[in-house]
């Protein structure tokens, strides 16, 4: 077996992992949005828990993905995303004791940084897996949403979890599109070798 064949199989396994990973990320975001717009709107305690869980989940997901793809020495952007998301989890928990304006501000800073790191991860993965345009676009949109959150956090109207829900919903959309893009890319690659 040649090195090229081994490399191709490694990339195939990595692409299969990414498809599953993106679907799981999308499913989590969909469930989070549903919980936020139902339970979170009605029960402040549940809303607070959901607000802490969201960046914590991002940290965990990036940690698992980074380890699965060669470790953090090969995935610096994901290591940074884990660190930023971990700090955001703590900062959201602290901000909840202050105000929802503070929480939205924390989400804004986190969305900017996490978006930039996601964009960079997508660019890096483009060479090995292809079909990363949705992740790149998602990272850019996350950064823009973060700037919007920061602006909104300075306003007079009190933000709620419903203000963050569209951000999570767009994340779910982009993860699903990424999984589908990888699947289409795989089908096209197989047809070329037939």
- Encode pLDDT of 102-154 as tens digits: 999 999 999 999 999 999 988 988 877 666 888 899 999 999 999 999 999 99
Read off the pLDDT of each residue in 87-96 and give the average, rounded to a whole number. 98
Decide if pLDDT at 101 tops 90: yes
Q: What is the pLDDT at residue 193?
A: 57
Number of structural domains the chain divides into: 1
Q: What is the mean pLDDT of residues 157-185?
A: 93
User: Residue range 87-115: average pLDDT?
Assistant: 98
131: left (phi over 0), alpha (psi -120 to 50) or beta: left
Higher pLDDT residue, 192 or 29?
29
Is 142 within a domain?
Answer: yes
pLDDT above 90 covers what percent of the chain?
68
Q: Name the pTM for this structure.
A: 0.87
Mean residue pLDDT across the chain = 88
| 144 phi, psi to nearest 5 deg | -65, -40
What pLDDT does residue 128 have?
A: 73
Residue 3 pLDDT grade (very low, low, confident, very high; cuts 50, 70, 90)? very low
Q: Is residue 154 part of a domain?
A: yes
Residue 1 lies in a domain: no
Q: Is the pLDDT of residue 4 over 50?
A: no
Q: Is residue 71 part of a domain?
A: yes
- Tell me if 106 is assigned to some domain: yes
Least confident of 8-22, 63-77, 81-95: 8-22
Q: Is the pLDDT of residue 32 over 50?
A: yes
Residue 2 within any structural domain of the chain: no
Backbone φ and ψ of 143, nearest 5°: -65, -40
Please indicate, yes or no, if residue 82 is contained in any of the structural domains.
yes
Share of residues in the chain with pLDDT > 70 (%)? 88
Q: What CA–CA distance (Å, rounded) separates 112 from 140? A: 8
Residue 51 has pLDDT above 60, yes or no: yes
DSSP 159: P
- Cβ-based neighbours of 1, under 8 Å, separated by 6 or more: none
Domain containing 154: what range? 7-193
Q: Is the pLDDT of residue 29 over 50?
A: yes
- Which of 120, 117, 136 is closest to 181 using CA atoms? 136
Query: Is a pLDDT exceeding 80 seen at residue 191?
Result: no
């Amino acid at each position: 077996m040649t090195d090229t064949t081994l490399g191709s199989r490694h990339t195939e396994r990595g692409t299969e992992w990414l498809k599953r990973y993106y679907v799981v990320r999308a499913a989590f975001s969909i469930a989070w949005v549903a919980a936020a717009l139902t339970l979170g709107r009605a029960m402040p305690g549940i809303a607070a828990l959901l607000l802490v869980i969201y960046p914590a989940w991002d940290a965990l997901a990036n940690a698992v993905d980074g380890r699965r793809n060669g470790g953090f020495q090969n995935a610096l952007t994901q290591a940074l995303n884990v660190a930023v998301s971990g700090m955001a989890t703590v900062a959201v928990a602290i901000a909840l004791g202050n105000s929802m304006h503070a929480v939205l501000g924390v989400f804004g800073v986190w969305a900017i940084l996490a978006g930039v790191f996601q964009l960079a991860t997508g660019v890096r993965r483009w060479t090995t897996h292809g079909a990363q345009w949705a992740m790149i676009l998602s990272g850019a949109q996350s950064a823009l949403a973060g700037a919007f959150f920061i602006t909104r956090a300075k306003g007079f109207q009190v933000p709620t979890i419903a203000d963050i829900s569209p951000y999570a919903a767009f994340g779910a959309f982009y993860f699903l599109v990424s999984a589908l893009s990888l699947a289409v890319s795989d089908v096209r690659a197989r047809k070329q070798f037939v």
